[in-house]
Amino acid sequence: MREPTPSPPPRPTVPPRPSSGPTTGTAASGPVVDGLFSAAARHLYGLLHAVTHPSHPPTPLLADAPKRWQRLLPYAVVLAVVSVLLPVTITVLADDYLVIPPTAGALASLQVLPLLMMGHRPLQACWIVLPSGALSSLFLFVEPDNMVRSIWPWPAPTIVGTLFLLFALALRERRQTLLGVWLFVALTGIGLGQLHPEASDGTNLLTIVLSAIVLVIGRVLQERGEVQRKLVEQETISEAERAHRTLLEERTRIARELHDVVAHHMSMITVQADSAPYRIGGLPAEAQEEFASIAASARESLTEMRRLLVVLRSEGTEGERAPQPGLDKVQQLVEATVRAGVPAELSMARELGTGPGALAVAQAVDLSAYRIVQEALANVVRHAPGAVTRVSVRAEDLDLLVLIVNGPAPEPTSRVEAKGAGGHGLVGMRERVRLTGGTLDTGPLPDGGFRVAARLPLTPGTEPAAAQMPSKNSTEKDSPDP
């Protein structure tokens, strides 16, 4: 017969850990009480921490204001408040509360002089002014017969100074701090009012309500200022992103246009390399292989350019089938501007035409000059309709000079397009000038007009200029009129 195996000793029972929050169902009442106490203690600790630790560095109000008088305004207000309240408080304590002048001066200084800190350290000033006001009330309570004609527990100048201080505090601190300070004012006033209830004729309630209103108004102004600052920051970011996007779009547009220019030359190279063995007789085999290699390289380059153009072209757009315009189309461009209601005049050197003896202009420069004139005239039509405009295109040494000058608009007109919402404007001009290695000079004129002057080399260099050299009055605005 087998012996029964001894049972293992019972494990010691561990009491359940109290939860941090309230429980439901059949839970014991202990965890509920512990959870409420722990939550209350946590909130009380957060409130004490908020009222003893400023949330902002001790920088003056309006320290970031653009104008000097705006930055000095808080100091002027603080000095005015202190200079008015100090003598008034001394007079009230001496006349209404029958305090001897030396003591009245000491009590008034203790309550008013810390207000000098409310422009940059309002929370620290609160914990000097509010306790000193309570101590002053206790000092006045020593002789209650002297308060027959006075209000209790706060003298009128003390209430006014406290409201100024709470408003300055609400402009800087967070909600939890404001709640803690308001509770201190309310509880202190109620407690002091119970010491002499017959002298308290609603002053406590009035002080509590006014302090709450002042804190709410200050907090609303603070939040409104924060929203405005965030809005300005967002507008700045959006403007920078819009300018960057415009720059990329214009570069893409220039790349698509240059594809036609470069593709023409590459096609000519391919045709000449393929036809060289048939046009030139007696070529050795090595020369024929070299021409065949040149033609293959040219075809490969054309294929890569077409692939790049597919990537650069926006969705839903098709390639332009018309040839790229140049200086030979500037006359038509000016005539179209005149039909749009802008009195424009063109002055172009004869050697820049298309007839015999015309000056050779690189295709990239030819296209860039046309686009600069086109965008400048478009800006005149949009922003200064009816303004007298003069277009001048001439060659000087080895450079092509393009000058577009318009006068002021005959009548004040509102801008048709918002900033950045229209064409690419000066951004496109700068990119085209940079592409050819030239310089661009733009800016408003004293009479209210606008000037665009571009100097483009007739034969572009191998590397574009790193940056333009605009004049001192150059503007970043996409508009010909200031």
pLDDT digits (tens, 9 = 90+) for 337-349: 888 888 999 998 8
| CA distances to 172, 179, 221 from 166, in Å | 10, 11, 13
- β partners of residue 402: 393, 454
Q: Which residue has the higher pLDDT, 122 or 199?
A: 122
Listed in sequence order, the residues at least 6 apart from 444 whose beta carbon sits closer than 8 Å to its beta carbon are 450, 451, 473, 475, 481, 482
CB 133 within 8 A of CB 181: no
For residues 291 and 289, give the distance between their C-alpha atoms in angstroms, rounded to a whole number.
Answer: 5
List the Cα angle 189/192/196 in 5-degree steps: 125
pLDDT value of residue 12: 47
Report whether pLDDT(473) > 70.
no
Report whether pLDDT(147) > 90.
no
- pLDDT confidence band for 454 (50 / 70 / 90): very high
Listed in sequence order, the residues at least 6 apart from 474 whose beta carbon sits closer than 8 Å to its beta carbon are 441, 442, 443
Taking only the tens place, the pLDDT of each residue in 270-316 is 888 888 888 888 888 888 888 888 888 888 887 777 776 666 655 55
155 burial (CB, 10 Å; 0-12 / 13-18 / 19+) is buried
- pLDDT confidence band for 355 (50 / 70 / 90): low
For residues 133 and 155, give the distance between their C-alpha atoms in angstroms, rounded to a whole number.
Answer: 9
- β partners of residue 455: 401, 439
436 burial (CB, 10 Å; 0-12 / 13-18 / 19+) is buried
Report whether pLDDT(469) > 60.
no
| Closest by Cα among 92, 178, 184 to 136 | 92
- Residue 15 is classified by DSSP as P
CB 256 within 8 A of CB 309: yes
Q: Which residue has the higher pLDDT, 249 or 89?
A: 89
CB 35 within 8 A of CB 43: no
Listed in sequence order, the residues at least 6 apart from 96 whose beta carbon sits closer than 8 Å to its beta carbon are 149, 150, 155
CB 34 within 8 A of CB 15: no
For residues 256 and 56, give the distance between their C-alpha atoms in angstroms, rounded to a whole number.
Answer: 53
* Neighbouring C-beta atoms of residue 75, cutoff 10 Å: 15
Report whether pLDDT(247) > 90.
no
Span 193-220, average pLDDT: 85
3-state secondary structure at position 348: strand
3 burial (CB, 10 Å; 0-12 / 13-18 / 19+) is exposed
333 burial (CB, 10 Å; 0-12 / 13-18 / 19+) is middle
pLDDT value of residue 248: 76
CB 421 within 8 A of CB 378: no
Residue tagged 């300070």 (tokens): 181
pLDDT value of residue 381: 85
Span 144-154, average pLDDT: 66
Report whether pLDDT(29) > 50.
no
Taking only the tens place, the pLDDT of each residue in 402-419 is 999 999 888 765 444 434
End-to-end CA distance of the chain: 114
For residues 152 and 236, give the distance between their C-alpha atoms in angstroms, rounded to a whole number.
Answer: 53
Structure tokens at 57: 């560095």
pLDDT value of residue 78: 92
Backbone angles phi, psi at 242, to 5 degrees: -65, -40
pLDDT > 70: percent of the chain? 76
- pLDDT confidence band for 423 (50 / 70 / 90): very low
